[in-house]
């Protein structure tokens, strides 16, 4: 069955989150979609049972990847390759959407054919497990005040998360697929490749995407930002080193060497300034204590006298 928007839900051993994600998709006001659930090494019967009770009919397909053969990028590529839709989006099992998310992102891409993708304003939703149920305990804006997707800012740090980005499936024919050598930051790596030659639009205003975070959770319940922190740090460096190597091969090492020297000098100046501030703060605190020492002595004597009464 063909549709305009394709949705890929990656999941593994999280039936509660998967059930919520499928309900999230069913609640979309835009209805011209197909869904691929990618079971990344989890229990096949468990996933099939959740999908069977979701009431999505023949608009959903399930792909089971055997344990040890998948990973975030493998699962993403498997899901997208199973789709023949014009647009695609990754909806990981623990994240959520506003009911108007697909409606407004698809409308944006229809109205802006030069944009390869569009990201929607996003809110972080903090959750805790209380009595066996996941309960929302707080919210915070993700990059408050952001009004565009900038290559310059994206080179510093990822400014979008998969739940917020709808892109044209055909972009993979130009920039390649999710890099299966990475264990994390696969979305950031793809966005950087897209932004080399295309724009990514941005829907500012009311949050339409909700990135759930569970800082205190471990194991399967943890989201990747915390559960894969080491992988994020390592693969962030891999992507940067790869891009730097491309530059050096093309332009030579001169500019990166000069910038590295400036960075070292700047770090030394910052460290020296911090040391000076710490010393000044210690001196200020010591002077304040000395100035109030007579008063503190009188207070201690008064407390001792009151204690004897």
Mean residue pLDDT across the chain = 90
Tens-place pLDDT, residues 231-274: 889 999 999 999 999 999 999 999 888 888 888 888 888 888 88
Look at residue 303 in the predicted model and tell me its pLDDT. 74
E strands in 26-79: 33-40, 60-65
Among 164, 231, 224, 181, smallest CA distance to 77 is for 181
Tens-place pLDDT, residues 81-137: 999 999 999 999 999 999 999 999 999 999 999 999 999 999 999 998 888 888 889
Look at residue 295 in the predicted model and tell me its pLDDT. 67
Enumerate long-range contacts of 144-152, CB under 8 Å, 24 or more apart.
146/121, 146/202, 146/204, 147/202, 147/204, 148/202, 149/119, 149/191, 149/195, 149/199, 149/200, 149/201, 149/202, 151/192, 151/195, 151/196
Q: Which CATH architecture has domain 5-249?
A: Alpha-Beta Complex (3.90)
Is pLDDT above 60 for 1? Answer: no
Look at residue 8 in the predicted model and tell me its pLDDT. 98
Average pLDDT over residues 22-37: 96
Contact yes or no for 163/209 (Cβ under 8 A): yes
Tens-place pLDDT, residues 63-72: 999 998 999 9
Among 149, 154, 193, 202, smallest CA distance to 171 is for 193
Per the document, the length of the chain is 309
Is pLDDT above 80 for 37? Answer: yes
Q: CA–CA distance from 208 to each of 29, 79, 165 (Å)?
A: 12, 23, 11
Look at residue 308 in the predicted model and tell me its pLDDT. 64
Is pLDDT above 60 for 309? Answer: no
Look at residue 220 in the predicted model and tell me its pLDDT. 64
Place of tokens 């500012």: 204
Output the pTM of the full model.
0.83
């Amino acid at each position: 069955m063909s549709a305009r928007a394709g949705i890929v839900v990656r999941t593994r051993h999280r039936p509660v989150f998967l059930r919520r994600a499928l309900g999230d998709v069913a609640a979309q006001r835009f209805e011209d979609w197909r869904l691929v659930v990618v079971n990344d090494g989890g229990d096949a019967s468990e996933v099939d049972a959740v999908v069977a009770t979701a009431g999505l009919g023949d608009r959903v397909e399930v792909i089971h990847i055997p344990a040890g053969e998948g990973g975030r990028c493998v699962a993403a590529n498997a899901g997208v390759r199973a789709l023949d839709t014009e647009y695609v989006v990754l909806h990981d099992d623990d994240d959520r959407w506003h009911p108007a998310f697909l409606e407004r992102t698809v409308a944006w891409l229809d109205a802006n054919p030069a944009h390869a993708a569009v990201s929607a304003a996003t809110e972080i939703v903090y959750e805790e497990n209380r009595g066996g149920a996941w309960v929302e305990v707080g919210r915070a804006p993700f990059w408050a005040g952001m009004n565009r997707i900038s290559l310059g800012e994206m080179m510093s740090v990822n400014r979008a998360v998969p739940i917020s980005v709808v892109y044209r499936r055909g972009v993979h024919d130009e920039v390649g697929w999710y890099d299966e050598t990475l264990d994390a930051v696969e979305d950031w790596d793809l966005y950087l490749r897209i932004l080399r030659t295309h724009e990514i639009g941005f829907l500012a205003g009311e949050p339409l995407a909700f990135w759930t975070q569970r800082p205190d959770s471990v194991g399967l319940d943890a989201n990747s930002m915390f559960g894969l922190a080491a992988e994020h740090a390592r693969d962030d460096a891999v992507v940067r080193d790869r891009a730097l190597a491309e530059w050096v091969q093309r332009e030579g090492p001169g500019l990166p060497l000069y910038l590295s020297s400036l960075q070292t000098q700047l770090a030394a100046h910052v460290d020296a300034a911090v040391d000076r501030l710490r010393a000044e703060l210690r001196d200020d605190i010591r002077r304040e204590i000395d100035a109030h020492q007579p008063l503190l002595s009188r207070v201690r004597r008064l407390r001792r006298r009151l204690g004897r009464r």
